[in-house]
Amino acid sequence: MRGSGGRMAVALIAVASGSTVISALLDIQFDIERQLTQQFRLLGANVVISRPRSDEMLASDRSASEILGSPALMDPEPVLAQIERLPAADVVAAAPFLYIVARAGRTPVVVAGTWLDQTHPLEPSWKVEGRWVTSRQDEAACLIGARVARQFALGPGSLLDLEYRDQSARLRITGVIDAGGTEDSQVFVNLAVAQKLAQLSGNEQAELVEISIRGTSTILSRYTQQLAAALPGYEVRPIQAVSQAEGHLLDRTRLLIALMVVLILVLTALCVLATMAALAMERRKDVGLMKALGGSIARIVALFLAEVGALGAAGGLLGSILGIALARWMGERVFGASIHARWEIFPLTVALMVGVALAGALPLRLLGRVKPAVILRGE
């Protein structure tokens, strides 16, 4: 029985170890969408709304050659109102944009007019030296990109004079943005300032609306379709570089986790199989005695399977508990945040381990070939 106890302990350790890793991987699998979505939202806006320009519009617009961005001006108010009415997604931030090419002295510079109080939530990965602008009514404040700051030797607190046609504006720089992209070569002003410089009148005073939505690529695609249906005449498109990268990374991570779970299940089953084979040979005498006393092979095998099932359940339960700690450790290492424990993982992990233990108990079928007479003769 000492040998049996030792082999059962080895099998329990194998099952518990396998279930620990599987439980941690399943916790990550169920929580990885939330973690990846949070990480990808740091990349900024993921939906752009604009209005296409017809050839007639292009010919009649006197400022078409000087306004950048989308090919037609639009009224952002109904678009923003429709965004608020659609509860299908968690909208982090939304803001209209108007781009013009102004002059700082004699040097042309791209000016982006937007709601500066939405800049930080819309682009959370941007680093700023100084401070963000927190009011869209502050028409004297602006943010400049890092390249603009180096080009003109400016910094927080400096003054910047902009000219566009016969209009001018003197702005106070509150922060220098390091975005790592084309934004480093732009000047960000409140939308009203850009509209005054461009001398725009009427409601059509923006080129596009950018939205940052928190959710998976599936949620983003569904929301984009709903928004496009609610805004006929507008182009509603996700930023493919963000949504596709998120979807591909999520699919590959899921496939990797699934393959690892299958591999661990196979290795655990092989370990239990080897242990049960040795255990079946060791208990031949016990089985022979049970048969001699009138026990049926079905009942005998059922007793052993119940023992193996209890072993799988105990190992699965222990591994599920340990898997929570392992999942949190892996989450902090990979995502920099704790993985949330999912209680539905407990029964799933226990069921998998019971199934693996029973699959590894196939050598117990050899007990049916034991002959009581041979055992009683001591052969």
Tens of pLDDT along the chain (379 residues) come to 444 667 778 788 888 888 888 888 888 777 766 666 655 555 667 888 988 755 444 444 444 444 444 447 888 888 888 888 876 567 888 999 999 999 998 899 999 999 999 998 888 888 999 999 988 888 899 999 999 999 999 999 999 999 998 899 999 999 999 988 889 999 999 999 999 998 887 677 889 999 888 766 677 778 888 888 888 888 888 875 555 565 666 777 778 888 888 898 888 888 877 777 777 666 666 666 666 666 666 676 777 778 778 888 888 888 888 888 888 887 777 666 667 777 778 888 888 888 888 777 666 665 555 555 555 555 5
207 touches 50 (CB < 8 A): yes
49 touches 235 (CB < 8 A): yes
Question: How far is it, in rounded angstroms, from Cα 24 to Cα 269?
Answer: 19
Question: How far is it, in rounded angstroms, from Cα 194 to Cα 206?
Answer: 9
pLDDT of amino acid 4: 61
Residues 6+ apart with CB under 8 A from 91: 83, 84, 211, 212, 213, 214
Give counts: helices (H), strands (E), the chain: 12, 11
Sign of CA dihedral 370, 374, 375, 379: negative
The token pair that represents 63 in the structure block: 């400022």
How do beta strands 159-164 and 208-214 pair?
unpaired
pLDDT of amino acid 155: 93
CA atoms within 13 A on the CB side of 240: 0
Tokens 């941007």 belong to 126
206 touches 96 (CB < 8 A): yes
pLDDT of amino acid 185: 93
Amino acid in position 227: L
111 touches 192 (CB < 8 A): no
Amino acid in position 314: A
* Alpha-carbon distances, residue 113 vs 43, 72, 191, 208 (angstroms): 20, 15, 4, 11
pLDDT of amino acid 2: 42
Question: How far is it, in rounded angstroms, from Cα 221 to Cα 229?
Answer: 13
46 touches 212 (CB < 8 A): yes
Distance of alpha carbon 87 from the chain centroid: 21
Return the closest-CA partner of residue 95 out of 124, 122, 125.
122
Return the closest-CA partner of residue 272 out of 4, 2, 3, 13.
13
Total Cβ atoms within 10 A of residue 317: 18
pLDDT of amino acid 103: 93
pLDDT of amino acid 98: 93
